[in-house]
């Protein structure tokens, strides 16, 4: 639609997009909004003074690369303590996952994934009053898991494949009316490490492939204002790609077709941080993660997905004070 020409006789062949860009700017300038839930403020990706949301990672898996096995899906007391700690530390979103997507991970199947995440989501929604205004995202690429999680109380679907690994995902998200995070990835967690060639550059190719997923989401019925984008640090990318995305995030956000969307960045404890710092143990990569979180805020990220919530909440507060001004 933006690149189509209006059917007006006697007019120059000008696209809708070209015509709109030629108009004088409105006063005041409108702010794009992405709704999450009635109790959670909408994301405002074009507001220069917006605060960065901290998304806390709650992996209910035995084999995640960084914290696998730490949080048992059946230990509701420990989940309560963890969630309360996340909230007290500054998290505004909790991302719950029931299957590891680290390189080479083994899929567990939809039934097992649902059994891991749904009781935890129900518990958070019914037994932790402090979490009433906290958004919950479900980290899954399966439509059936997304639907069950949202029925239990999740607000956002966080799909690492942007709908590519389950053809029912995008139509399901459209039907249940939730916001969705579309992440850039190639292949599967088992094959993505071999799919990191970007002959024309990582920024234009990631932009083009995300643009295709946006189009697929809209074709499935997902409203444009329900979409959040994620460049997928560490997924089908090697260290130079991750660093370029962090360095060039403003350029990526401004690529044609990607303007005005909110962005999530997930650099927490990633392998490239370990390579740069020499820190082999993921949980010890706090300082390196802090640098990438600050860079993400400087580049315009709306959400940072992190393990070390207390420390990264402090980083985002200071980074917001530096970079989030008119």
Q: Rounded to an integer, what is the distance from CA 220 to the centroid of its chain?
A: 19
- The three-class DSSP label of residue 182 is strand
CB 157 within 8 Å of CB 150? yes
13 is catalytic: no
- The three-class DSSP label of residue 183 is strand
Q: Which two tokens stand for residue 176?
A: 């249940």
CB 254 within 8 Å of CB 294? no
Catalytic annotation, pick one of 226, 253, 270, 285: 270
Give the integer Cα–Cα distance in Å for 105 and 174: 29
Q: Which two tokens stand for residue 281?
A: 């143990």
Catalytic annotation, pick one of 247, 305, 317, 324: 305
Candidates 143, 128, 192, 39; CA nearest to 157 is 143
CB 100 within 8 Å of CB 64? yes
- The three-class DSSP label of residue 291 is helix
186 is catalytic: no
Catalytic residues: 270, 305
């Amino acid at each position: 639609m933006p690149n189509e020409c209006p059917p007006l006789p006697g007019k120059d062949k000008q696209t809708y997009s070209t015509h709109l860009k030629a108009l004088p700017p409105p006063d005041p300038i409108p702010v794009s909004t992405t709704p999450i839930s009635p109790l959670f403020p909408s994301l405002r990706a074009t507001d220069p003074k917006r605060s960065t949301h901290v998304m806390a990672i709650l992996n209910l898996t035995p084999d995640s690369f960084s914290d696998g096995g730490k949080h048992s899906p059946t230990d509701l007391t420990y989940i309560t303590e963890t969630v309360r700690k996340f909230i007290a530390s500054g998290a505004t979103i909790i991302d719950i996952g029931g299957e590891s997507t680290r390189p080479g991970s083994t899929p567990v199947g939809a039934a097992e994934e649902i059994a891991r995440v749904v009781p935890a989501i129900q518990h958070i929604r019914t037994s932790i009053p402090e979490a009433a205004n906290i958004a919950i995202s479900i980290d899954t690429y399966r439509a059936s898991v997304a639907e069950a999680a949202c029925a239990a109380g999740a607000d956002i679907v966080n799909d690492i494949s942007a709908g590519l690994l389950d053809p029912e995902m995008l139509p399901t998200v459209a039907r249940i009316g939730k916001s969705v995070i579309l992440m850039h990835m190639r292949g599967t967690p088992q094959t993505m490490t071999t799919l990191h060639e970007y002959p024309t550059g990582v920024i234009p190719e990631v932009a083009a492939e995300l643009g295709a997923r946006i189009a697929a989401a809209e074709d499935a019925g997902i409203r444009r204002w329900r979409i959040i984008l994620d460049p997928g640090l560490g997924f089908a990318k090697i260290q130079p790609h991750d660093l370029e995305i962090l360095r060039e995030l403003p350029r990526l956000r401004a690529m044609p077709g990607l303007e005005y969307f909110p962005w999530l960045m997930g650099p927490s404890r990633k392998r490239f941080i370990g390579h740069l710092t020499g820190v082999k143990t993921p949980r010890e990569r706090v300082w390196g993660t802090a640098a990438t979180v600050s860079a993400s805020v400087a580049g315009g990220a709306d959400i940072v997905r992190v393990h070390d919530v207390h420390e990264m909440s402090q980083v985002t507060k200071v980074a917001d004070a530096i970079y989030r001004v008119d």
